[in-house]
Structure 1
Amino acid sequence: MSLLLLLLFSAQAMAQDLVSKNEIEELQLQAINDTAFTLRTVTEAGNLIKYSGTMPLRINGELQDASFTEGETVFSLAERAELVQVSANLGTHTLARLYQLNPEEQRGVEEFPMWLSILPPLIAIVLALIFREVLLALFAGIWVGGFVIYGLSAKSLFTGLLAVGDTFLMEALTDSDHVSVIIFSMLIGGMVAIISKNGGMAGVVNLLSRYAKSAKSSQLVTWVLGVAIFFDDYANTLIVGNTMRPVTDGHRVSREKLAYLVDSTAAPVAAIAFVTTWIGAELGYIKDAAVKLGIQEGAYSLFFHSLEYAYYPVLTLIFMLMLILMNRDYAAMHHAEVRARETGAVTAASLDRAGQQKQEQEMAEFEPIDATRTRAVNALLPVLTVIGGTLVGLLYTGYSPDVWADASIGFLRKLSITIGDSNSYTALIWASLGGVIVAIALTISQGIMRLSETMESLVVGFKTMLPAILILVLAWSLAAVTQELYTAEYLTSLLSGNVSPYFLPEITFFLAAAIAFSTGSSWGTMAILYPLMMPAAWYVCQQQGFSVEETMPIMYNVISVVLAGAVFGDHCSPISDTTILSSLASGCNHIDHVKTQLPYALTVALVCNLVCTNLSALGVHWALVYGIGAAILWGVIRVLGKKNEEAPVPATASVLD
């Protein structure tokens, strides 16, 4: 009887000691030494909660199952770190805490508010909104990050500033992949300048311009050219707009419509094509985030799969094509087209002289040195060299004899594995270098330019890429700061339990659109959001218990909508560089361009997010989603659009002629 009472008493005592993870209110860290720590589960008042059992912890980014006994567990770091970040999965929610080593504190560590980890990117976004300067905003974000990392003291304010140069920027510039992106971007910029100056690009444009015999066909040729000149949005905008302007003027197509066609083919095509000045940066952001998350799939493969969800760029191109073929427009664009068709006034008012001078200055570097020698082959061969060289380089660097010898794997799967395992940076450098060499050889061998002039054009091309490269370097530095502050873990702790993973693509799209609209920079938007939203999506899916197979479609979607939202915001923004260049190259009043393009961009964006993204979340196949989205856009044009009558005679004069 005594033994039974003793057992009952012991069982009651054990039951009292059993604590659910949901009862844990706080985590308390104590330093044993620089690399060993004790973690305790406590109440908000600091009283020990005697939890015993395993608990998933993410310690400085590393996921592990920690075994707690009486509310305590011990863990060690591989090396000393200034900051220790701990995230605990408590089932219904996540606790995320940030600590800094401080021997003067009683426990050897000092707890920082975890919201400080979001401060650097938040500062970057806010300053970009206020000053509309992405470079300044990114620099300030890095500085604030250094201030937090080094202790939030007066000294760390100065130390953080120095760390911008000697730590974060140096790390960004010494990363081999980052250097590869810089080299590739500069080489592509140089090639574009050479093939523009030697008349090759003008030759391609002239070749297609022969088919422009009416208002509809001239718009169609403009669309085809915009898609064909896919490798650089700046080159696309400046070359297509300036070259097609006389053609569309002759058929009474408004400058507003021309600017829309130029602007809305430039970034979408450059963003989703495989060989562009964008691809290096996109792959860089994707690869950096994927490596940190432990995703085995290669950056090129991730990008390729994300195209299944690239609704905005793809449907924008389809929407433009339907507008042209149906010969319909609506809202402000229809009024502009009616004005041009009926009166021959292709623009509402004369472009101011300052705008004309700026346009001429922009175009001077891209105009052929000899207008009588515009051979399309001088552009086609270098471009084909880049395309073919990239494909060969991807296959060569990713080739595995074991994969191709495996009879159980289909050809397309083998190709996907090969490209996924390839070194895309090496392939892009090989290809772009080959393109530059071919462009130089063609130019000099035909006597179009002397060697010195060709080299000058090459350097001009390098210079055109410098603003983008500066954004890249600062963006990589900010990404390193957010990694060291574990910003993604903090976002996860906010989102977990509150946001379904299926809503993350829509949230990401509108966030990207807001940033791009306010800053006018697609590249700056990608720089800020890729390092944040990819880890956030991954961790939120983990918290919801998703398998890797369930997580990856959401990850592909998030990768895609960062880009899509950036392009959409860029289209709507009056301060976007491509929007401004489109207005200038097309000879259109800038505000008129923004006002006429905005309804079209909003139409496509709403269909993509209210329909396409939700259908994807329901598991509808991507091909069917594209079809449904295109059908809805066709219906919108049919209902809202009004017919544009063909001009009975060509315009005899242009406002700018």
Structure 2
Amino acid sequence: MELSWTSLLPSLLAIVFAIITRKVLLALIGGIILANLLLFWPSPSATGQGVLLSSGTTLVDPGNMLVWFFTLGIGALFGVLEKGGTFRQFVNKLEQKQWVESKRQARMMTWVLGVVVFIESNVTIMISGTTSRPVYDRLGISREKLAYIVDSTCAAICILIPLNAWGAFNLTLIADQGVQQPLWVFIQSLAFNFYAIFAVLLALLVAWFDWNIGPMKTFERNAVPNTEPSRVADNNGANKPGPQPDQSKLSSGTWVVLASLVSLIVMVPLMLLVTGNGVLVEGDGTLSVFIAIYTALGLAVIGTLATGSAGAAKVIQYALQGAWNILPLAVILWLSITLGGLTRELGTGEFLAAALDGSVSIWMLLPLIFVLAAITGFSIGSSWGTFAIMLPLAIPIAMSLGLPAAPFIAAAISGGIFGDHASPISDTTIIASMASGTEHIDHVWTQLPYALLAGAGATIAYAITGAML
């Protein structure tokens, strides 16, 4: 069809509707319907058939089927670990260790945990937050400082070391845009993911030098050491020392969690080598993550049964509950791939490239994409949803202008991380507050100055990168 400004409408509708309603699913559905209206106008029946055909084709595509199953698999994995009790045993075991005796060591321990455990942002946050909190309380470090280091490190590192669901999610979106060697291009984009890089480095700076800005100064000033042992209330309301956990169960639960997480870390690069005939960047990323997740799930199920933490029926129930909880993510991915295919048919990327040619300087494109992605991520509180909306818009612009796709991919992803990081309605922000045991709004306000500082640095870096293209 002839290129027209109307080709922008489906993507714009998805962005604006998602911002206003914070409902990514409805925004993507609206974009799909509008795209088919533009393709088949003025035939209502053809429009309806187009909606069903485009969605159905994406759903049953053999390559996409692996994505749906590994997405549900990772939900099942963490459902078994969390509900089955082994994760709680793992956390209790770590809480008993007192390897850290100074404030700097405590802050650095949290930062290192966030870097090393890069499997999934929310899981990393829970591990780092719950294991560090007793140490912070004992040494007199504010829980707001803990929440900031946990949130800034865990979410950012998961996108910089994408051997996880985030990596496979974005790799699928990139490949769906027709990018040649999508895995290699995705790896190249990591060097341009400026917000994530700056956020991790800034968290390291804060952890080492205890640099406090904005509201964080007040919370750090008011933090006092807590040397009293943990206590619980009995049936009469009186406080007494908490029960001592079974040491044998703590040890067995720890090994189950470690085996599952380590298998995830090891299996992804191993399978990339296998599927790539010895060449990592030529491996099948989706298949590799799929095999790694179900290997870890198998280990988690067997380990949970072996420790006696739960019976077979309960383990199956926990796996199904975990898969159900993550089902919306699989649906978002499905709809985003569908919308991305429709925008290509409409020629959105080609039109944008023609419209921007000569009217917007090249150096401005990357900052614009970064800021738009940040606004979207902040408003909807979902980095996944932002990736789904922004990548199908950013990549065609680069390809149409004959520019490398990696910086544009990075700008869209980096903006989504920034917006999600600063958003008070983000799941990672909320979980960081819960894991650290702090008031949610306190975490939001103490973290925001650091996020804005890293965001400003990223905007400047994208402008410089754009000038060099």
Structures share fold, TM-score greater than 0.5? yes
Q: Counterpart of 2:378?
A: 517
Residue 496 (1) aligns with residue 357 (2): yes
Structure 1 equivalent of residue 57 of structure 2: 171
3-state SS, counterpart of residue 101 of structure 2: coil
Partner of 2:220: 337
CA distance in 1, matches of 2:252, 2:204: 28
> What does the per-residue CA deviation read over 1:236-278, in whole Å, with 9 as the maximum and x for residues that have no partner?
2334334433332232222222221222223212222232121
Query: Letter of the aligned partner of 2:214 in structure 1?
Result: A
- Note if 1:389 corresponds to 2:276: no
Map 1:227-626 to 2 at 5 A: 227-289=115-177, 291=178, 295-296=179-180, 298-341=181-224, 372-373=250-251, 375-399=253-277, 418-540=279-401, 542=402, 551-552=403-404, 555-610=405-460, 612-617=461-466
What secondary structure is seen at the aligned counterpart in 2 of 1:138? helix
Which of the numbers 118, 124, 128 marks the counterpart of 2:18? 128
The answer (yes or no) to whether the contact 2:253–2:307 under 8 Å persists in 1 is no
Contact 1:300 1:419 in 2 (8 A): no
Q: Which amino acid aligns with 2:81?
A: I
Matching residue's letter, 1:122 = L
CA distance in 2, matches of 1:533, 1:328: 36
Once the two structures are TM-superposed, the CA of residue 473 in structure 1 deviates from its matched residue by 1.4
Identity of aligned residues (%): 32
Whole-Å separation in 2 of the counterparts to 1:265 and 1:205 = 22
Q: For the residues of structure 1 that align with 2:79 and 2:465, how far apart are their CA atoms?
A: 41
State which structure, 1 or 2, has the greater radius of gyration over its C-alpha atoms.
Answer: 1
The answer as to 2:47 corresponding to 1:160 is yes
1:211 touches 1:217 (CA, 8 Å); kept in 2?
Answer: no
Distance in 2, matches of 1:314 and 1:590, equals 25
Structure 1 residue matching 2:442: 3-state secondary structure: helix
C-alpha separation between the residues in 2 aligned to 1:117 and 1:317?
38
Q: Name the amino acid aligned to 1:143.
A: I
Question: 1-side partners of 2:18 and 2:50: how far apart?
Answer: 22
> What value does the CA root-mean-square deviation take over the aligned residues?
2.7
Q: State the one-letter code of the partner of 1:447.
A: G
CA offsets 1:580-631 (integer angstroms, 9 cap, x no match): 2222332322222211111100111112221x334545669xxxxxxxxxxx
Measured in 2, the distance between the counterparts of 1:311 and 1:497 equals 27
Whether the aligned pair in 2 keeps the contact of 1:303 and 1:556 (CA below 8 Å) is yes
Which residue of the partner structure matches residue 106 of structure 1?
A: none
**Residue 373 of structure 1: how far off its partner (Å):** 4.8
Give unmatched runs, 5+ long, in structure 1: 1-83, 86-96, 98-113, 345-367, 400-414, 543-550, 621-657
Q: Is the 8 A contact 2:93 2:251 kept in 1?
A: no
Offset of 1:282 from its aligned partner?
0.5
The separation in 2 between residues aligned to 1:135 and 1:586, in whole angstroms, is: 30
**Aligned with 1:329: secondary structure?**
coil
Segments of structure 2 that go 5 or more residues without pairing to the other structure are 228-245
**Contact residue 92 and residue 250 of structure 2 kept, 8 A:** no
Letter of the structure 1 residue corresponding to residue 175 of structure 2: K
TM-score normalised over the length of structure 1: 0.64
* 1:372 to partner: Cα distance: 4.1
Between the aligned partners of 1:333 and 1:159, the Cα distance in structure 2 is 57
Measure how far apart 1:120 and its partner are. 0.8
3-state SS of paired residue (1:331): coil
2:240 corresponding residue in structure 1 = none
Is 2:249–2:307's contact at 8 Å kept on the other side of the alignment?
no
Cα 1:321–1:374 shift into 2, 3 Å:
farther
Q: What is the number of equivalent residue pairs in this alignment? A: 450
Residue identity in the other structure for 1:568? F
Q: CA deviation at 1:316?
A: 0.9
Looking at both structures, which has the greater relative contact order when contacts are Cα pairs under 8 Å and sequence separation is at least 6? 2
Runs of 4+ in 1 over 6 A off after TM superposition: none
Q: Deviation per CA, 1:319-351: give whole Å up to 9, x if none.
A: 11111111221111112111224999xxxxxxx
Match of 2:90 in 1: 203
The answer to which structure has the higher helix fraction is 2
Structure 1 residues 285, 149: closer, same or farther in 2, change over 3 A? same
